[in-house]
Structure 1
Amino acid sequence: MTITIHEEITFKTNPNTLYQALTDSKRFSEVTGGAPTDIQADAGGSFSLFGGMIEGRMIEIVPNERIVQAWRAGNWESGVYSIVKFEFQQQENETLLIFEHVGFPAGQVEHLKVGWTENYWEPLKKYVSE
């Protein structure tokens, strides 16, 4: 049985602001407090986040609608990747982010859930409120 992390988070901004924060190296670094970041925002492009603690490749990238990534933590066994999907839905003056993370190593679900909240959702909420 595959475990999926599924979250739906509302942000008080438009889809473009979230999309840019997740696909632009400079903006992602600002969101995360200056962490070293390199993002190649096109299908097949690589990314390295938090100074290499997270890395992977963009599988699909549809501006302001969807980002799908082959995603891995730097301490996972070599060659092990999971799939992460961000979908953006405009809802009046807010954006609903529908997030899914699948295919990660056993025993990682709680650690990953905390990581997504502390390293992505909370900093993004702060970033869009400034």
Structure 2
Amino acid sequence: MPFRFFVSFGMLKKFRLETVIPASPTEVYKAWLNSESHAAMTGGSPAIINDEVGKPFAAHNAYLWGKNLVLEPHSKIIQSWRTTGFKSTDEDSEIEINFENHEKGTLLTLTHSKVPEQEAHVEQGWVTHYFEPMIAYFGDK
């Protein structure tokens, strides 16, 4: 079960989740930025992922999409991020994913900021659609 940290700034939310993935930071980072691996490690829904700064991505049948803002190989990814549930007037939210060595693989810390109030459910979505399937995917390798 991931650690949770939650802060509210009026109508925008920010939260941080942590979990341990049974693979090296290099393996997890590379899988996150590869279309086939990203789809496989998150349950099989199609993903179009780019591994270059400034390039767009989409995952889970284009339910979510954004752009790569910062890529620090094998240690950090920062992306703009939104879902089909965002209002057209909502600004993009932002995710920061940090990958650190851990005795059991990778300590993955995800901070999601500027989340519109109506999309607060995405916090649980990270656990259900990313962390749990990733643990199973890498644990089976």
Q: Same fold (TM over 0.5)?
A: yes
Query: How far does the alpha carbon of each residue in 1:14-54 deviate from its partner, in whole angstroms, 9 at most, with x for none?
Result: 00111122110010111133211101111101001011100
**One-letter amino acid of the structure 1 residue matched with residue 138 of structure 2:** V
Q: How does 1:23-102 map to 2 (within 5 A)?
A: 23-78=33-88, 80-102=91-113
1:15 is matched with which residue? 25
Q: Which whole-Å CA distance do the structure 2 matches of 1:50 and 1:92 have between them?
A: 30
SS at match of 1:18: helix
TM-score by length of 1: 0.92
Stretches of structure 2 that go unaligned for 5 or more consecutive residues are 1-8
Matched, 1:114 2:124: yes
Q: Which whole-Å CA distance do the structure 1 matches of 2:82 and 2:72 have between them?
A: 21
Q: Which whole-Å CA distance do the structure 1 matches of 2:95 and 2:68 have between them?
A: 10
**One-letter amino acid of the structure 2 residue matched with residue 14 of structure 1:** S
Give the ranges of 4+ consecutive aligned residues of structure 1 lying more than 2 Å apart after TM superposition. none
Percentage of identical aligned residues: 26
Q: Which whole-Å CA distance do the structure 1 matches of 2:43 and 2:122 have between them?
A: 19
Q: What is the aligned residue count?
A: 129
TM-score by length of 2: 0.85
Residue 80 of structure 1: how far off its partner (Å): 2.8
Query: How far does the alpha carbon of each residue in 1:61-105 deviate from its partner, in whole angstroms, 9 at most, with x for none?
Result: 111100000000122122631000100111234211111000011
Stretches of structure 1 that go unaligned for 5 or more consecutive residues are none
**One-letter amino acid of the structure 2 residue matched with residue 30 of structure 1:** A
